[in-house]
Chains A and B, each alone.
Chain A
Amino acid sequence: MPLGNPQATVDHAQNIIELERVSFSYGAQTVLENVDLAVHRGDYLGIVGGNGAGKTTLIKIVLGLLKPTSGAVRLFGHDIASFKDWSRIGYVPQKATNFDANFPATVLEAVLMGRYGRRGLFRFLTREDKDLARLALEQVGLWPQRGRLIGDLSGGQQQRVFIARALAGGPDALILDEPTVGVESGVAGEFYALLKRLNEELRLTVVLVTHDIDRMAHQAMHVACVDKTIFYHRSVDEYFRKTHAEAHPHDHPAPVSGSAGGGGR
């Protein structure tokens, strides 16, 4: 792993996530329609969209928590149905809704959970697992807090614990669902900077769903806008230029797929 590489490079030859004409409906209600998306190795993609635009559904499909009504999902080139290598994906859930602040777990215990998928059934944790958990905590700057209850930390620190848990599994990609919901607004910028650093230094692919476009956008390389289907913007600058130029960013040109810009639909 090229540590300390100042310039994150995107490897267009390696597709981490590929969605092809993915649609999803709850009964008669169509949530996603013909979504094409390609995330390459080293990408930092921000997915934005309003409430009910289908952002969370899209993430759940990528994570295999929901099955698309139609279309194909591939992770690391494998069809999601036969994909087994889940430890390559680090998932950071939405803190505010998925976390019980009274849960009796120390910071270190929570981060060690990130090793459980790697270690497998019937295996106990080893010295190596503990070292990797420590490394992950050091990366997010929370090693001194390892003995504290996760519920006693601030929202921003809690979210960093979840990042450390994902990092401890040694993933190639981080997928984050609304990571700054419930995090003090002052530290949200810091949080995006941390993701940027992980993206550059560890060459982690980062996919992030958020409504917090202004703060996130200055860090992400690419922005995709979801509103039933996906509207891809090649770069953050382009996103801002277009949103400022037009009152309705969602009406913008033909949705295209991927940062390679390869063929529409």
Chain B
Amino acid sequence: MLDLFRYGFALRGLEAGVAVALVAPLIGTFLVLRRYSLIADTLAHVSLAGIALGLLLKINPILAALAMTAVASLGIEKLRLSKRVYGESSLALFCSGSLALATILLSVGRGFNANLFSYLFGSILTVTRQDVNTILLLAAGVAGALALFYKELVFITFDEDSARVAGLPVKALNMLLIVLAAFTITLSIPIIGVLLIAALVVIPVVAALQLRRGFAATLLWAEAISLFSVVAGMLASFYLNLSSGGTIVLVMLAVFLILLPFRSTSGDLPPA
């Protein structure tokens, strides 16, 4: 059997994978509970346009995707708030619009090649040291911002009107959440690929929700499920020579299916 730890690329991939696994469910919990799961998919498509632009202009595609998704996320939120289109329609516009832009940019830059394939589906083989550093930095930034605004984000997720009455800057917090989502999506690209990112953000959270726990407990379960799925998926993909993104998502789905019939009810705590 191949020894994983003798391959630098595999270790790099695992390092980045763990960072992504820890950050994605943090942001995912807020998105899923705000009925905003689809924004993950939309931002993933936007990031593809960013990658295409990066390939065309010969700048780091991940950084180009980062800039593109951050700008688009603000645009999506503005359009939603303007109430000129429905929330989902705003997502659909950005989703198909950015995919159209990506195909144009790719055809201009003759970018339809093996390199693009690794961005679409993720590949630990092509993850560079620089990519890993970018991922670690972004992951730390997103996790730090979420920790700082944790209680406010929980409140607006649970009850936006009451949060507004309590004097919280709801609009700014919504913007923050969506920009952090954009960062999370972008940093996940090298590992899991544009087409499967949404799964990483959404599935561990949906699986953890089956356990019916409190907010903090649900968050921790989502983290555990995500970490397990990413590590197990990456090991399996390495030893069985499968696509890493696809393997990770299938492991997550398996966990979800196992938890689906598992419904516990919370009991009363004894009076203290």
Interchain CB contact under 8 A, A144 and B167: no
Q: Once bound together, how far apart are the Cα atoms of A185 and B215, in whole Å?
A: 30
Interchain CB contact under 8 A, A143 and B271: yes
Given contacts A104-B218, A108-B214, 14 further A-B contacts (CB under 8 A): A64-B165, A103-B33, A105-B214, A106-B266, A110-B158, A113-B158, A113-B163, A114-B166, A119-B151, A122-B148, A144-B271, A148-B267, A149-B212, A169-B166
13 intermolecular pairs with C-beta atoms under 8 Å apart = A86-B166, A93-B161, A104-B215, A105-B158, A113-B162, A116-B168, A121-B148, A144-B268, A144-B269, A147-B266, A149-B212, A149-B213, A169-B166
Residue of B149, B151, B209, B267 with most partner-chain A CB within 10 A:
B151
Q: Once bound together, how far apart are the Cα atoms of A224 and B215, in whole Å?
A: 40
| B214: A residues at CB distance < 8 A | 104-106, 108-109, 147, 149
Interchain CB contact under 8 A, A93 and B162: yes
Counting from the closest, the 4 A-B pairs by CB-CB distance are A117-B166, A86-B167, A106-B214, A147-B269
B3 within 8 A of A: no
Given that A65-B165, A98-B161 are known contacts, is A105 also in contact with B215, CB under 8 Å in the complex? Answer: yes
Distance of A258 from chain B, by nearest CB (Å): 23
Interchain CB contact under 8 A, B166 and A116: yes
> Nearest residue in B to A60 (C-beta to C-beta)?
B161
Q: Mark B150-183, 1 if CB is under 8 A from A, else 0.
A: 0110110011011111111000000000000000
B240 within 8 A of A: no
Q: Once bound together, how far apart are the Cα atoms of A112 and B33, in whole Å?
A: 19
A34 within 8 A of B: no
Q: Mark A115-151, 1 if CB is under 8 A from B, else 0.
A: 0110101101100000000000000000111111100
Interchain CB contact under 8 A, B218 and A113: no
A84 within 8 A of B: yes
Q: Once bound together, how far apart are the Cα atoms of A163 and B122, in whole Å?
A: 49
Interchain CB contact under 8 A, B165 and A109: no
Chain B residues close to A by CB (< 8 Å) = 33, 148-149, 151-152, 154-155, 158-159, 161-168, 209, 212-218, 265-272
A152 within 8 A of B: yes
Given that A104-B214, A121-B149 are known contacts, is A146 also in contact with B269, CB under 8 Å in the complex? Answer: yes
A63 within 8 A of B: yes
Interchain CB contact under 8 A, B164 and A65: yes
Distance of A91 from chain B, by nearest CB (Å): 4
Interchain CB contact under 8 A, A117 and B212: no
Interchain CB contact under 8 A, A65 and B161: yes
> Nearest residue in A to B209 (C-beta to C-beta)?
A104
Residue A152 contacts which of B148, B215, B266 (CB distance < 8 angstroms)?
Answer: B266
Q: Once bound together, how far apart are the Cα atoms of A125 and B151, in whole Å?
A: 9
Interchain CB contact under 8 A, B267 and A116: no
Interface size on A, residues (CB 8 A): 40
> Nearest residue in A to B169 (C-beta to C-beta)?
A121
Interchain CB contact under 8 A, B271 and A99: no
Distance of A218 from chain B, by nearest CB (Å): 28
> Nearest residue in B to A147 (C-beta to C-beta)?
B269
Interchain CB contact under 8 A, A117 and B168: yes
Interchain CB contact under 8 A, B266 and A116: no
Residue A87 contacts which of B148, B155, B166, B266 (CB distance < 8 angstroms)?
Answer: B166
Given that A104-B218, A105-B158 are known contacts, is A89 also in contact with B271, CB under 8 Å in the complex? Answer: no
Distance of A157 from chain B, by nearest CB (Å): 12
A102 within 8 A of B: yes
Interchain CB contact under 8 A, B168 and A103: no
Interchain CB contact under 8 A, B165 and A91: yes
In chain A, positions 224-247 with a C-beta closer than 8 Å to chain B are: none
Interchain CB contact under 8 A, A113 and B154: yes
| B149: A residues at CB distance < 8 A | 121
Residue A104 contacts which of B159, B165, B213 (CB distance < 8 angstroms)?
Answer: B213
Interchain CB contact under 8 A, A116 and B151: yes
| A100: B residues at CB distance < 8 A | 33
Q: Mark A165-189, 1 if CB is under 8 A from B, else 0.
A: 1000100000000000000000000
Q: Once bound together, how far apart are the Cα atoms of A104 and B159, in whole Å?
A: 13
| A87: B residues at CB distance < 8 A | 166-167
Interchain CB contact under 8 A, A93 and B215: no
Interchain CB contact under 8 A, B166 and A99: no
